[in-house]
Amino acid sequence: MRPNTRNKNKRQRPSDAADSYSQILRKIHEANDVTEKDVKQLFMITKPLCQGCRVNTRDNPNCFCGLVPPPNGSRKSGLWQKTSEIIQALGPDLSSELRASDSTPAGLTNLGATCYANSILQCLYMNTAFREGVFSVEVDVLRQYPVLDQIARLFAQLYASKKSFVDSDAFVKTLELDNGIQQDIHEFLTLLLSLLERCLRHSGVFKAKTIVQDLFRGSVSHVTTCSKCGRDSESSSKVEDFYALELNVKGLKSLGDSLDDYLSLEHLNGDNQYFCGSCDARVDATRCIKLRTLPPVITFQLKRCVFLPKTTAKKKITSSFSFPQVLDMGSRLAESSEHELTYELSAVLIHKGSAVNSGHYVAHIKDEKTGLWWKFDDEQVSELGTHPFDEGSSSTTQSESNGAASSGKTKDVNQSGSSSIKSEVFSSSDAYMLMYSLRCGKKESQEGQRENPIDITNGEVASVRHPEGCYLPSHLDKWINDLNATLLEACKQFDLTKESQLKTLTERRQEVRTILSEAAVQSLDEQYFWISTEWLRLWADTISPPALDNTPLLCSHGKVLASKVTSMKRISELAWTKLESKFNGGPKLGKGDYCRECLMDGARMVVSSDSYRDRRTFMKNIAIDVLSGKCEDGNYYVSKSWLQQWVKRKNIDAPSEADAEPTNAITCSHGELMPEQAPGAKRVLVPENLWSFLVEDALRVTPEDTSGCSSFPLDSIQCSHCTSELSEVAGVEDALRTIKAKQRQNHDKLASGKGIALTPQSRYFLLPSPWLVQWRSYINMTGKNSSSVPEPELLDGVINTLKCQKHTRLLERLPELVYRRGSLFQKNPSTDKLTIIPEDDWKYFCEEWGGIVEKGVSAVIEDGSNTNRSASQDVIDLDQDSSPDVNMEIDNQQLIIRTSPEVCEECIGERESCELMQKLTYSEGDVSVCLVRGKEAPKSMLNASDSSFEVDRRTSKRSRRTNYGKQTSLKVSATTTVYQLKMMIWQLLGVMKENQELHKGTQVIDQETATLADMNIFPGDKLWVRDTEMHEHRDIADELCDTNSGPQDIEEGFRGTLLTGDITFEAC
Alpha helices in 747-859 (DSSP H): 748-752, 769-780, 795-800, 839-849
Backbone torsions φ then ψ of 140, nearest 5 degrees: -65, -40
Per-residue CA distances from 263 to 83, 221, 242, 259, 448 (Å): 66, 11, 15, 6, 16
Taking the C-alpha atoms of residue 393 and residue 361, their distance in angstroms, rounded to an integer, is 15
Contact yes or no for 571/529 (Cβ under 8 A): yes
Quote the DSSP letter at residue 279. Answer: T
304 Cβ partners below 8 Å, 6+ apart?
249, 316, 317, 318, 351, 432
**Range 63-96 burial, b when 16+ CB lie within 10 A, else e:** bbbebbeeeeeeeeeebbbeeeebbeeeeeebee
Which distant-in-sequence residues (6+ apart) come within 8 Å of 698 by Cβ? 655, 659, 660, 661, 662, 709
Residues 6+ apart with CB under 8 A from 266: 286, 287, 288
Pairing outcome for strands 342-352 and 431-438: antiparallel
Q: How far apart are the C-alpha atoms of 880 and 892, rounded to whole Å? A: 10
Confirm if 555 and 561 have CB atoms less than 8 A apart: yes
- Give the Cβ contact number of residue 322 at 10 Å: 21
Strand, coil or helix: what is 557?
A: coil
Give 539's contacts (C-beta < 8 A, 6+ positions apart): 512, 545, 548, 579, 583
pLDDT at 462: 56
Smallest CA-to-CA distance from 993 within 974, 1012, 1006, 1010 is with 1006
Rounded Cα distance between 148 and 196, Å, is 7
1065: alpha, beta or left? (left if phi > 0; alpha if psi -120 to 50)? alpha
Strand partners, 407: none
How much is the pLDDT for 365? 94
Calpha distance 148→453 (Å, rounded) = 19
Instruction: Give the pTM.
Output: 0.57
- Rounded to a whole number of angstroms, the CA Rg of the chain reads 48
Q: Give the Cα separation of 94 and 487 in Å (integer).
A: 7
**Rounded Cα gap, residues 231 and 286, in angstroms:** 11
β-strands 240-242, 965-972: how paired?
Answer: unpaired
Contact 921, 973 (CB under 8 A): no
What are the backbone dihedrals phi and psi of residue 567, each rounded to the nearest 5 degrees, phi first?
-115, 20
pLDDT digits (tens, 9 = 90+) for 516-546: 888 888 888 888 898 898 999 999 888 888 9
| Pairing between β-strand 996-1000 and β-strand 1003-1005 as defined by DSSP bridges | antiparallel
Q: How far apart are CA 518 and CA 539, in angstroms?
A: 15
Residue 305 appears among annotated catalytic residues: no
Write down the catalytic residue from 65, 115, 226, 719: 115
Question: What was the pLDDT predicted at 946?
Answer: 46
Max Cα–Cα distance, the chain, nearest Å: 141
C-alpha span between 1028 and 931 (Å, rounded): 11
CA distance 248 to 257: 9
Q: What is the DSSP letter of 667?
A: B
The one catalytic residue in 360, 475, 555, 668 is 360
Beta strand extents in 353-452 (DSSP E only): 360-366, 373-377, 380-385, 396-397, 410-413, 421-428, 431-438
Question: Side chain identity at 474, as an amino acid letter?
Answer: S
Name the residue type at position 226: C
In sequence order, which ranges of 239-386 are alpha helices (DSSP H)? 255-263
Q: What are phi and psi of 409, to 5 degrees?
A: -125, 125
Tell me which residues of the chain have a pLDDT lower than 50: 1-10, 392-396, 398-419, 441-459, 867-872, 875, 877, 879-892, 945-959, 1041, 1044-1050, 1064-1068
Residue 246: φ, ψ to 5° = -90, 115
d(CA 224, CA 267): 10
Residue 501 C-alpha from the chain's centroid: 38
Q: Is 115 a catalytic residue?
A: yes
DSSP 160: H
In angstroms, the CA 480 to CA 216 distance is 29
pLDDT at 731: 79
CB atoms closer than 10 angstroms to residue 840: 11
Amino acid at 960: R
